[in-house]
């Protein structure tokens, strides 16, 4: 299987790692945080409530990460790829959605690359250019233009930011990041 077939999504936390340069990500467009009822949902429930995260939700379920990402004591910052990001990834890698979802270890690796765990959730105002360490202890870069550069050199844009959850915050991105 090709290395690029490490295609997937955003949120999984297998090991609770820290963030090296936690303040790393000012979005190009800041959206207001969700209302109080939205903040009562954890990051998984927030994703489940949005049809544009349906592939991400499937991936989280297939990877066996629902319980980890639902942890009420965690403080996750999730860079969540939308369905268009997954469609682009499948086209880029030549994989089918079924092939992508069938590889649990790969899903866990890719999803955990989208998650940062810090003492407090990292809202858009807290993110600055620099290296960010994910829960899988891999790194991505926030550029001075506030883009996310993955380890393959691919660039993702922030589509929406500051979607508040009870155990963190979700920022929507337009590409699946690859470790």
Instruction: Tell me whether residue 120 is in a domain.
Output: yes
Instruction: Tell me whether residue 9 is in a domain.
Output: yes
DSSP-based three-state secondary structure for 55: helix
Q: How many domains does the chain have?
A: 1
Instruction: Tell me whether residue 178 is in a domain.
Output: no
Q: Which domain holds residue 116?
A: 3-173
Instruction: Tell me whether residue 145 is in a domain.
Output: yes
Tokens of 75: 């403080």
Instruction: Tell me whether residue 160 is in a domain.
Output: yes
Instruction: Tell me whether residue 179 is in a domain.
Output: no
Report the CATH number at residue 156. Answer: 2.30.180.10
* pLDDT score for 22: 36
Give the distance between the most distant pair of CA atoms in the chain: 44
Tokens of 1: 């299987």
Q: Angle formed by the axes of helices 83-93 and 54-62, to 10°?
A: 70
Alpha carbons 108 and 8: distance in angstroms, whole number: 9
Q: What is the pLDDT along the chain (179 residues), one digit of tens a residue?
A: 333 233 333 333 322 233 333 333 333 333 334 443 457 899 999 999 999 999 999 999 999 999 999 999 999 999 999 999 999 999 999 999 999 999 999 999 999 999 999 888 899 998 889 999 999 999 999 999 989 999 999 999 999 999 999 999 999 999 999 99
Residues in Cβ contact with 97 at an 8 Å cutoff, skipping those fewer than 6 apart:
55, 58, 86, 90
* pLDDT score for 38: 53
């Amino acid at each position: 299987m090709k290395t690029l077939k490490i295609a997937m999504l955003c949120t999984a936390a297998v090991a609770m790692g820290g963030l090296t340069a936690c303040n790393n990500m000012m979005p190009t467009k800041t959206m207001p945080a969700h209302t109080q009822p939205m903040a009562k949902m954890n990051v998984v429930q927030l994703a489940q409530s949005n049809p544009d995260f349906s592939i991400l939700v499937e991936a989280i379920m297939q990877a066996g990460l629902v319980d980890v990402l639902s942890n009420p004591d965690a403080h996750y910052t999730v860079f969540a790829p939308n369905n268009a990001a997954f469609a682009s990834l499948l086209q880029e890698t030549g994989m089918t959605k079924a092939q992508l979802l069938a590889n649990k270890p790969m899903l866990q690796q890719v999803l955990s690359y989208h998650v940062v765990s810090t003492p407090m959730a990292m809202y858009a105002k807290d993110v600055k250019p620099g290296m960010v360490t994910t829960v899988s202890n891999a790194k991505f870069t926030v550029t001075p233009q506030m883009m996310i550069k993955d380890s393959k050199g691919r660039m993702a844009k922030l589509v929406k930011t500051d979607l508040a959850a009870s155990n963190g915050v979700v920022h929507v991105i337009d590409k699946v990041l690859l470790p």
